[in-house]
Structure 1
Amino acid sequence: MEEMIKIEELEGEDCLKLRDLWEEVFWEDSQAFTDYYFQEKAVRNHAFALKNGQEYVAMLYLSPYPVMLRAGKQFVCREINYIVGVATKKEYRHRGYMDRLLKEALAFIRAKGQPFVFLMPADPRIYMPYQFTYIYDRGIYRMRAENNSPEIRSLTEEEFHILSDCASSFLKEDCDVFIRRDSLYYRGMEKELRVQNGGICFRAGTGKEAEGYFFYTEEEGKGEILEAVLPKGDGEWSIYNSGKKEPAIMGRIVDVKSMLSLMRAKKEEIFWSMLIKDPIFPENEGIWKCRVTVGEAFINKEEKGVLDGGKQPGYECEAGIEQLTAWVFGYKEAEESFRFSDKEDREATICKLRGIRRLCRVFINEIV
C-alpha cells in the first residue's frame, strides 16, 4: 500500500509529540539536554512535521527569538525564527521530505513578515540549495593550560540583572545583530548550560557593573566556550581568545524589502538599483530601487521588468538572494557579492555600496 505522507503544523505543547522522533534521530543528546529542550524550549516553538499514518517521520522546529537589529543609530527588535531540530528517520531519507518541510517553513516565516531566518548547520551542504549562506563566524576561546575547567557557580538575582544590563550595553556598542539580552534570557541560558555540565562564568566589578562573562559546557570530558564577552580583555581570565574563528551561523533573507529597510547611509543619501534573483520567492525577484539616508530607507520593487526601454538594463548590479544575504550581513564585500551591468560604472556602484551601513557585526551563539 502506498504510504500516505501528510504535513502537519504543530504549535506550543503539540510540539512535544515529536519527542520520540527527536530521541531516535538525536540519540547522542544526553537525557538531561533532551528533557531541558522539551520542557523549556519546544513548548514555545512552532514545528512542521511529516506523518506517515500515525508515525512522525520528519520534523523541523522554528524557535522564535527577539533579535536586536541595528538601523542607523537605533536598534529595532524583531522576532526572528531560528531553524532547529531538522531531522528525518533513517529509513525515510532521500525522498524529498526535508525539501517539503524547509519550503513550508520558509513560506511561514515570510508570511509573518520576518526579514530573514537563521540556523546552525550540522552540514552546510544541506542548506545551500535553499540559498542559505554563512553570516557569522564564532570566535574560538580556549582554556589556559593551568586551568582545565573554570569555576562555575549559580548567579544571584542581582547578578543576573547586572549581567544583562552590562552585556546589553556592550553588545549595542559592538554588534549590529544579537539576541536581546535580559535577566530572563540569562536565567534560561544558565539552565541550558547546566544540562551540558557547564554554566556561566561571571565576574562582577567594584560597582554595579560586570567585568565580563563566558558560557562554558563540558561533554565527554571536553570543555567548550560557547560565548565570551570580555570588554576589558582576557588577561585576568581562565580563558583566552585564540584569534581563530569557525563558521557557525547560516542565514537567508526571506523578505528583501523588510531586510533592506534596515539599511542606512553612513553619510550622504545614496540611490542605487539592483536585480535580485530568488528561486523560492518570486516576490523577492526583480529590480529593486533603493534610496537610503542616514535616518531611513525607501525600498521599492520595480514592476515594469528587467530592461529599461528594451535596450539597457534598468539596474546597476545583480545578485542571487544568497549573495545579497552575505553582503547585508557583512560576510562578503560588494565586489564578491554582485555582478555589475556596466563595467565602466562598476567602481562608482561599488563606491555607493561601500557607503551603506550594513549589519556586519553578527553575534549569535545559540544552540537551540
Structure 2
Amino acid sequence: MDTLEKKTKVKELWQLCFHDDERFVNLLFDNLYRDENTICFEKGGKVTTALQMLPYCISFGETSLDVSYISGAATRPEYRNRGLMGRLLKESFEIMRSRNIPLSALIPAESWLYDYYASKGYASVFFRQELNFSSAHRFYGDGYHRVAMSMDELYRFFDEQMRRRSCCIQHGREDFNVICDNIYLDGGDVVALADSQNRLSALAFVVPGDDAVFVKELLAINTEAKEAMLHEVQSAFPGYSLRVFTEPTSENGSAVLMGMIRIVDVRRVLEAVAKNNRSLRRVFRVHDSLLPVNNGVFLVEEGECYEGVTNPCDFDIDIMELAEIVFGGSKLSSLLDFPSVRPYMSLMLD
C-alpha cells in the first residue's frame, strides 16, 4: 500500500468509526496527517485498525518532554474484540521509544474506554475545570479593546502564555493554525484584546453552542484582562451563558476528567523529575507488562536518575501507578511527600 492509498484508507476508517464533519476531517488530514506517524493493520485490501501519533511536547517545570498524542485510534466494527488495537498500541510505544519520546497522551472517545486504556498503562491525570456564568453575570472591560492581529503575533502571545504553565501540552505554529481554522469551522471566533497602549493582553478561543458559549481557552496577562475578555465575549453573544474551560483551581466549578497519559520511557521521565527536584531522593521499582524494557529499579538522587541499583525501594509500582504519582493523579503523592505536578491540555482537536 503506497502513501496516498494508506492515507485514503485511514481517513475512510476515521469516518466509518467517528462520523465527524467532513470539513473537520479534511482539515486534520490535509494539515496534520503524516505517513511516518501513522500505523495500521490491513487485511483484504482494507485498513482494519489504525492510529496516529501526533508530535507534541509538554512543559515540565524547568524542562520539557516530548509527547506522542494518540489520535484517530479506530478499528473496523467487524474486526473488534480481536486484540488488534492492543497490538497496535504496543507497536506505537516501541516506535516512540525508538524516537526518544518518553510520553504518550490521549483523550478517550467514549467514557468506557478509560478502563480499556488503563489496561494498557495509561493513567487518568488530565482534568479541566468548567466555570459557568449566566447571561445576567456582569464583567468589566474598561481599559481594553478588541484588535485584529496577524497570525504570527497571535501565536507569539499564545505560545508565551501557554509556556507559563508549569506542566502543559504545548502547540506548535502549524497546530495553532489548525486550531484557529477549526474554531472558525465550528462557527466560533478567536478573540484578541489589547490594552490602552495597544499591547496584546488576552486571547480566547470561543465556540457558540445551543444554549451557551464555550470559551475553550482563555489566556490573559492578568485578572483584569481576563475579566475584559469575558466582557467582550458576552457582548459578542448577548443572552448566552458562558462556560469557560480552564485549569483546575480553587474557584467554583466542576473538575472534569478529560484525558490520560502513559509513561513510555521510565528513565527519561524520572530524569526530568530529578532535574526539577535536586534535593529529592527516591527509589522506584517499576513493572511494565507491555514494555519490559521499562522494568527495573531506578534511583532519583541529587538531580540524576540511576538505573539498576540495589537500594531498598520507596515505591514498588506498575507503569500506570508511576504516572499517577509523577503527574499528581494519586492520593499517595501527598501522603508520601512526592513533588507531583498536575498536567493540563487544551485545544487538542478531540
Give the TM-score normalised by structure 1: 0.76
Q: Which has the higher strand share?
A: 1
Residue 105, structure 1, aligned to residue 92, structure 2: yes
Indicate the SS of the match to 2:272.
coil
Residues 158-215 of structure 1 deviation map (CA, whole Å, 9 limit, x = unaligned): 4434433333333333332221455x54333111222222231222223353332222
Task: Give runs of aligned pairs for residues 153-232 of structure 1, distance below 5 A.
Answer: 156=148, 158-180=149-171, 182=173, 184-207=174-197, 209-218=199-208, 223-232=213-222
- Contact 1:289/1:301 (8 A) holds in 2: yes
Specify the code of the residue in structure 1 equivalent to 2:332: A
Name the CA shift for 1:12/1:165 in 2 (closer, same or farther; >3 Å). farther
Q: Whole-Å Cα distance in 2 between the matches of residues 70 and 288 of structure 1?
A: 20
Residues 97-145 of structure 1 deviation map (CA, whole Å, 9 limit, x = unaligned): 1111111111111221111100011231221110111121022244642
- Contact 1:142/1:224 (8 A) holds in 2: no
Q: Whole-Å Cα distance in 2 between the matches of residues 164 and 171 of structure 1?
A: 10
1:17 is displaced (CA, Å) by: 3.1
Query: Could you say which residue in structure 2 is the equivalent of 1:254?
Result: 264
Q: Whole-Å Cα distance in 2 between the matches of residues 109 and 12 of structure 1?
A: 23
- Contact 1:120/1:367 (8 A) holds in 2: no
Query: Could you say which residue in structure 1 is the equivalent of 2:10?
Result: 18
- Contact 2:163/2:170 (8 A) holds in 1: no
- Structure 1 window deviating more from structure 2 (200-209 vs 261-270): it is 261-270
Name the CA shift for 1:155/1:332 in 2 (closer, same or farther; >3 Å). farther
Q: Which has the higher contact order (CA 8 A, sep 6+)?
A: 2
- Structure 1 window deviating more from structure 2 (279-288 vs 248-257): it is 279-288
Query: Percent of counterpart pairs with the same letter?
Result: 18
- Contact 2:216/2:346 (8 A) holds in 1: no
Specify the code of the residue in structure 1 equivalent to 2:116: I
Query: Could you say which residue in structure 2 is the equivalent of 1:283?
Result: 293
Q: 1:124 aligned to 110, 114, 127, which one?
A: 114
Indicate the SS of the match to 1:51.
strand
Q: 2:23 aligned to 9, 29, 32, which one?
A: 32
The two structures, once aligned, show a CA RMSD in angstroms of 3.0
Name the CA shift for 1:45/1:53 in 2 (closer, same or farther; >3 Å). same
Query: Could you say which residue in structure 1 is the equivalent of 2:238?
Result: none
Specify the code of the residue in structure 1 equivalent to 2:32: K
Q: Whole-Å Cα distance in 2 between the matches of residues 106 and 15 of structure 1?
A: 21
Residues 240-273 of structure 1 deviation map (CA, whole Å, 9 limit, x = unaligned): 6562221112000000111111114777623221
Q: Unpaired runs of 5+ in structure 2?
A: 138-145, 235-241, 245-251
Indicate the SS of the match to 1:324.
helix
1:15 is displaced (CA, Å) by: 2.8
- Contact 2:325/2:332 (8 A) holds in 1: yes
Query: Could you say which residue in structure 1 is the equivalent of 2:315?
Result: 317
- Contact 1:44/1:63 (8 A) holds in 2: no
Q: Whole-Å Cα distance in 2 between the matches of residues 231 and 272 of structure 1?
A: 37
Name the CA shift for 1:210/1:136 in 2 (closer, same or farther; >3 Å). farther
Q: Unpaired runs of 5+ in structure 1?
A: 1-7, 148-153, 337-346
Query: Could you say which residue in structure 1 is the equivalent of 2:135?
Result: 145
1:155 is displaced (CA, Å) by: 8.0
- Contact 2:125/2:327 (8 A) holds in 1: yes
1:316 is displaced (CA, Å) by: 2.2
Residues 302-322 of structure 1 deviation map (CA, whole Å, 9 limit, x = unaligned): 16xxxx6xxxx7212222111
Indicate the SS of the match to 1:127.
helix
Query: Could you say which residue in structure 2 is the equivalent of 1:326?
Result: 324
Query: Could you say which residue in structure 2 is the equivalent of 1:342?
Result: none
Task: Give runs of aligned pairs for residues 230-249 of structure 1, distance below 5 A.
Answer: 230-233=220-223, 234-236=226-228, 237=230, 238=234, 239=242, 241=244, 243-249=253-259
1:280 is displaced (CA, Å) by: 1.1
Residues 326-366 of structure 1 deviation map (CA, whole Å, 9 limit, x = unaligned): 22122334357xxxxxxxxxx8xx34x3xx4x443433441
Indicate the SS of the match to 2:269.
helix
Name the CA shift for 1:166/1:257 in 2 (closer, same or farther; >3 Å). same
Q: Whole-Å Cα distance in 1 between the matches of residues 307 and 35 of structure 2?
A: 35
Name the CA shift for 1:11/1:132 in 2 (closer, same or farther; >3 Å). farther
Indicate the SS of the match to 1:363.
coil
Indicate the SS of the match to 1:283.
helix
- Structure 1 window deviating more from structure 2 (215-224 vs 108-117): it is 215-224
Indicate the SS of the match to 1:106.
helix
Specify the code of the residue in structure 1 equivalent to 2:314: E
Q: Whole-Å Cα distance in 1 between the matches of residues 22 and 33 of structure 2?
A: 15
Query: Could you say which residue in structure 2 is the equivalent of 1:134?
Result: 124
Name the CA shift for 1:20/1:220 in 2 (closer, same or farther; >3 Å). farther
Specify the code of the residue in structure 1 equivalent to 2:130: I
Name the CA shift for 1:140/1:205 in 2 (closer, same or farther; >3 Å). same
